[in-house]
Amino acid sequence: MPLVNPLPILKKARQQKLAIAAFNIHNLETMQAVVEGAVEEMAPVIIQTTPGTLEHAGIPFISAMAKAAAEEYRIPIILHLDHCSSFAIAVKCIRYGYTSVMIDGSALPYQDNIKLVAEVVKVAQAAGIAVEGELGRIGGTEDDITVDEREAAMTVPGEALDFVQRTGIDTLAVAIGTAHGLYKGEPLLDFDRLAQIKELVDIPLVLHGASGVPDDSIIRSINRGICKVNIATELKIPLAEAIKNSFKVNPAEDDPRNYLGAGREEVKKVVKRKIRLTGASKLLKR
Ligand code: 13P
């Protein structure tokens, strides 16, 4: 089947207190690991790329690989643009077949964030594409967006309602204490804040920075309205470890099929575990 818009699946996830996992990929092997893992778990899956990855790999290559994966397998596959602050890149991705885009104006003043997001919503909704916005600021480092963890402000529930109403977004990324990248200690999530946001806002909520968040906190978040769980760092680490290990075992290794193949297998294991944690397989059942 073609790449799909995630909204029907996310709405079902909201009703059933389940979530879909969204994995950041960087190349063919990481995309294969995500898709094959999802196929083995019989679950829908979101493949996502940041603008930095698009600069590295090229939008046409990523979109062609994702379309090929969707045609090859019988699970719903979504191609999503993650943390994009550029109207032009978001529109380009839509033209190339992305079925969901995040427009991240969270670094802008509130009114400017609304204006940027509403402009993307207008274009995306006309094309049948879902839009994710972000309110509050999620700490840590991802690509060129760096927010000092102390400065990172959490989403204010009343503002979230206003933001959703004024932008028309389909999903909302919330700042409730998670951060991109690795945590120094155990992350403390503000579950009460999340529950309040869910009470006010009737669209699916997104958890960024899920790498390193304990499983029980992920489950508690899903029970309080999180319908999309974003994972990047926890895939990067096993990929790098497997490649390093290939060279340790055979310092003369020069066949990328061997070291990238080993990386792909390790990434796939994490993908499968995270998919099981979200309960996403149940979303394909009636
Ligand atoms: P992690 O790198 O912490 O998994 O964050 C991923 C993310 O939120 C992508 O948007």
Q: Is 126 a member of any domain?
A: yes
Q: Do 272 and 34 contact (CB within 8 A), yes or no? A: no
Measured in angstroms, how far is the CA atom of residue 209 from the centroid of ligand 1? Answer: 4
Q: Is 2 a member of any domain?
A: no
Q: Is 91 a member of any domain?
A: yes
Is residue 82 part of the annotated active site? The answer reads: yes
Domain CATH code at residue 255: 3.20.20.70
Residues of the chain with pLDDT under 50: 145, 147, 150-151
Determine if ligand 1 sits within 6 Å of the CB of residue 206: no
Rounded CA-CA distance 274/128 in Å is 28
Measured in angstroms, how far is the CA atom of residue 28 from the centroid of ligand 1? Answer: 19
Q: Is 154 a member of any domain?
A: yes
Residue 184: predicted pLDDT: 79
Domain membership of residue 253 as a residue range:
7-284
Please name the residue whose Cα sits nearest to atom 8 of ligand 1.
208
Please name the residue whose Cα sits nearest to atom 5 of ligand 1.
209
Determine if ligand 1 sits within 6 Å of the CB of residue 261: no
Determine if ligand 1 sits within 6 Å of the CB of residue 30: no
Residue 285: predicted pLDDT: 84
Residue 152: predicted pLDDT: 58
Atom nearest to 235 CA in ligand 1: 4
- The model's pLDDT over 92-134, given as tens digits with 9 standing for 90+, comes to 999 999 999 999 998 899 999 999 999 999 999 999 999 999 9
Q: Is 1 a member of any domain?
A: no
The number of distinct structural domains making up the chain is 1
Q: Is 40 a member of any domain?
A: yes
Out of 30, 180, 206, mutate this one to test ligand 1's pocket (max ligand atoms within 8 Å of CB): namely: 180
Determine if ligand 1 sits within 6 Å of the CB of residue 210: yes
Determine if ligand 1 sits within 6 Å of the CB of residue 180: yes
Measured in angstroms, how far is the CA atom of residue 138 from the centroid of ligand 1? Answer: 10
Out of 82, 104, 170, 190, the active site residue is 82
Q: Is 229 a member of any domain?
A: yes
Residue 137: predicted pLDDT: 83
Which DSSP string corresponds to 99-141? SEEEE--TTS-HHHHHHHHHHHHHHHHHTT-EEEEEES--EEE
Rounded CA-CA distance 77/75 in Å is 6
Q: Do 21 and 274 contact (CB within 8 A), yes or no? A: yes
Determine if ligand 1 sits within 6 Å of the CB of residue 136: no
Out of 233, 235, 239, 278, mutate this one to test ligand 1's pocket (max ligand atoms within 8 Å of CB): namely: 233
Residue 286: predicted pLDDT: 73
Measured in angstroms, how far is the CA atom of residue 140 from the centroid of ligand 1? Answer: 9
Rounded CA-CA distance 75/43 in Å is 6
Atom nearest to 212 CA in ligand 1: 3
- How many residues are there in the chain? 286
Residue 107: predicted pLDDT: 87
